[in-house]
Amino acid sequence: MAAAAPPPAPTPAPEPATSLPETTPLFTRIRLATPADVPHIHKLIHQMAVFERLTHLFSATESSLAATLFSPTAQPFHSFTLFLLEASPKPFAVSSVDSNPFFTPLTKYVNLSIPIEDPERETFKTTDDVTVVGFVLFFPNYSTFLGKPGFYVEDLFVRECYRRKGFGRMLLSAVAKQAVKMGYGRVEWVVLDWNVNAIKFYEEMGADLLNEWRICRLTGEALQAYGGAD
Amino acid sequence: MAAAAPPPAPTPAPEPATSLPETTPLFTRIRLATPADVPHIHKLIHQMAVFERLTHLFSATESSLAATLFSPTAQPFHSFTLFLLEASPKPFAVSSVDSNPFFTPLTKYVNLSIPIEDPERETFKTTDDVTVVGFVLFFPNYSTFLGKPGFYVEDLFVRECYRRKGFGRMLLSAVAKQAVKMGYGRVEWVVLDWNVNAIKFYEEMGADLLNEWRICRLTGEALQAYGGAD
C-alpha cells in the first residue's frame, strides 16, 4: 500500500496487577535488509495487507520483491531501502552486518514493563535468539523548491505483539536521522485521515499534516492505455 | 514544491472571430534534460513558485539543482528524471539528443488554432528556433503490495503562454508511457483539493483521487532534531 501503516498508538501500557512487574529486557538492532531477508519481508508485507484489510490488492511475491528491492545496481539510500528491526533477549553477536559499508546498525537496549508473547517467534526468527520485529521501506524523493532530495517512507510496520512499545518511533527516527546525515531536506509519508491515533503520534514526532493535498494515481488499465500513446 | 503544478484546464479554445483563424504550426519535442539545461530549469521552477505563491519556500539555486539532479552515478528513470518539452516553428534538426542511450525523444507536430505570443522567447531559447515550453520532474517510487516500482511526478509545469493547449497532457503522457515501457505499476502525483480544473483534467486522463490519504512532512528544525537522536 502507498502508505505508512499505523504506528503504535501512544496509549500507556496496562498497569501490572499486584506483584512487582515482570520486565522484558530486549536488545534491538536496526540494520539494512539483504536478499536473505526476503521471505520475512514478504510475510511482513502480507501481515500489513491483512491489517489494512487490503489483501485483494496484495500481489507481491518473494521473487518480485527480490528482483525489484535488491537490484544489483541500486545503492542503499539512493534507491529503495529497507531497514529491518530485530530484537533479542541477548546482546547481538558481532556479525557481517556490522561492517556494512553503507550503514552501521543502530543498537539499543530497552527494558519493557510487560513480557512479550510472540506466537510467531519461529516464523520470524533470523538466528537462534534474534526475531524480526518490523520494517520501514523508504526511498529518495526530490523537492525542486529546496533543490535537494528527501526521503519518502512508503511503509512502516511493526508486528502485532510488539506494537505500542516505541518500535515504530524507533524505525521512523532511524530514517529521519539518516536524512539529516545526508543533508536531505524532508522526510514524508502518508496517513489515513481517520487514523487519529497515528496522526497524533506523527504530530508528536514533529511532522506537519498537509491537509489540502490529494494523491492522484494512474494505474491498471488506465495506465496501460498510455503504452501505445504518442 | 511537492506537487504537480495545475495543468492546462480542459476548456475549449475561443471561437475565431470572422476571418479564417490564424494557425500556429509547432514542432514539439520531449527529451531528457541535461546539465546544460539547468539555467532554464531554475527559471521554470521559480516561475512555478510564483504561480503557486510560494516564493518564500523557494531556495533552490542553479548549483544545488546541478549537483542533485545530475549526479554522475544516477541513471535516468532509476533516479530523479527531468523531461523538457521544447517547441519550434521548424522541424527539429538531428542532434546529439536523438542518440541518448536512455531515451529517444518524442516528437509531435501540432497545429494550434491561435498564435502564441511569447514575451520570454529570448530567455527560454535553447537554439535559434527552439524554445523551452515546460518540464516534468519524476522519479521511481515503490509499491510493496504490487512488489514493483512506479513513478512519482513531483512537478509538472508549462509556461503561461503555452497553457491550455495540451502540453501538460503531453508531458504527463510521456511519463505514463515510460512507466508502461518499464513494466511499472503506477504513476502518482498530488493536487490541491480546491484545484477543481486540475482534478477534472487528471480524472479525464484516467487517474483516481485517493481522498482519504494525507501527506505528513517532517522538515526544518523538527527534522534536524533527529540528527543526534539515538
Q: What share of chain A in percent tops pLDDT 70?
A: 90
Which residues of A belong to the active site?
Answer: 202
The pLDDT tens digits of the residues spanning B139-193 come to 999 999 899 999 999 999 999 999 999 999 999 999 999 999 999 999 999 999 9
Confidence label for A21 from pLDDT (cuts 50, 70 and 90): low
Mutation for testing the A interface, residue in B110, B153, B214 having most A CBs under 10 Å: B214
**pLDDT above 60: residue B203:** yes
**pLDDT above 50: residue B2:** no
Do B223 and A206 count as a contact with CB atoms less than 8 A apart?
yes
Shortest distance between the Cα of A17 and any Cα of chain B, in A, equals 32
Which helix (DSSP H) or strand (DSSP E) does residue A224 occupy?
A: helix A220-224
Residue type, A224: Q
Q: Chain B residue closest to A64 (CA)?
A: B147
Mean pLDDT (whole number) for A174-190:
97
Query: Who contacts A9 (Cβ-Cβ below 8 Å, separation ≥6)?
Result: A163, A164, A197, A198, A201
Do A213 and B211 count as a contact with CB atoms less than 8 A apart?
no
Mutation for testing the A interface, residue in B48, B69, B145 having most A CBs under 10 Å: B145
Q: What is the pLDDT of residue A3?
A: 46
Q: What share of chain A in percent tops pLDDT 90?
A: 77
**Whole-number Å distance between alpha carbons of B109 and B31:** 15
DSSP B161-186: GGTTSSHHHHHHHHHHHHHHHTT--E
Least CB-CB distance to B223: which of A106, A180, A217? Answer: A180
Rg of chain B (C-alpha set): 19
Where exactly are the structural domains of chain A?
24-228
Q: Are strands B148-158 and B208-210 parallel, antiparallel or unpaired?
A: unpaired
Predicted TM-score (pTM) above 0.95: no
Least CB-CB distance to B54: which of A65, A73, A145? Answer: A145
Q: What is the pLDDT of residue B156?
A: 96
Q: What is the pLDDT of residue B15?
A: 53
Query: Who contacts B34 (Cβ-Cβ below 8 Å, separation ≥6)?
Result: B70, B97
Confidence label for A15 from pLDDT (cuts 50, 70 and 90): low
Contacts of A177 in chain B (CB under 8 A): 226-227, 229
> Any idea which of A30-34, A217-221, B5-9, B28-32 has the lowest mean pLDDT?
B5-9
**pLDDT above 90: residue B39:** yes
Q: What is the pLDDT of residue B229?
A: 58
Do A74 and B78 count as a contact with CB atoms less than 8 A apart?
yes
Mean pLDDT of chain B: 90
**pLDDT above 60: residue A172:** yes
**pLDDT above 60: residue B16:** no
More confident residue, A7 or B152: B152
Q: What is the pLDDT of residue B74?
A: 84
Architecture of domain A24-228: 3-Layer(aba) Sandwich (3.40)
A226 neighbors B177 (Cβ within 8 angstroms): yes
B42 neighbors B22 (Cβ within 8 angstroms): no
The pLDDT tens digits of the residues spanning A25-42 come to 899 999 999 999 999 999
Contacts of B149 in chain A (CB under 8 A): 68, 80
Q: Which of B70, B61, B105, B99 shows the shortest CA–CA distance to B86?
A: B105
The pLDDT tens digits of the residues spanning A54-91 come to 899 899 999 999 999 998 888 899 999 999 999 999 99
Q: What is the pLDDT of residue B78?
A: 94
The pLDDT tens digits of the residues spanning B45-79 come to 999 999 888 899 899 999 999 999 998 888 899 99
**pLDDT above 80: residue B7:** no
Q: What is the pLDDT of residue B29?
A: 97
Q: What is the pLDDT of residue A24?
A: 84
Query: In sequence order, what are the beta bridge partners of B156?
Result: B136
Confidence label for A23 from pLDDT (cuts 50, 70 and 90): confident
Confidence label for B21 from pLDDT (cuts 50, 70 and 90): low
DSSP A17-81: -SSPPP-EEEEEEEEE--GGGHHHHHHHHHHHHHHTT-GGG----HHHHHHHHS-TT--TTTS-E
Confidence label for A18 from pLDDT (cuts 50, 70 and 90): low
Q: Chain B residue closest to A48 (CA)?
A: B145
Which helix (DSSP H) or strand (DSSP E) does residue B192 occupy?
A: strand B186-192
Q: What is the pLDDT of residue B139?
A: 97
Count CB pairs under 8 A between chains A and B.
269
Shortest distance between the Cα of A18 and any Cα of chain B, in A, equals 34
Contacts of A193 in chain B (CB under 8 A): 212-214
Do A213 and B227 count as a contact with CB atoms less than 8 A apart?
no
Q: What is the pLDDT of residue B120?
A: 96
Quote the Cα angle for B193-A8-A105, to 5°. 105
**pLDDT above 90: residue B17:** no
**pLDDT above 80: residue A150:** yes
**pLDDT above 60: residue A5:** no
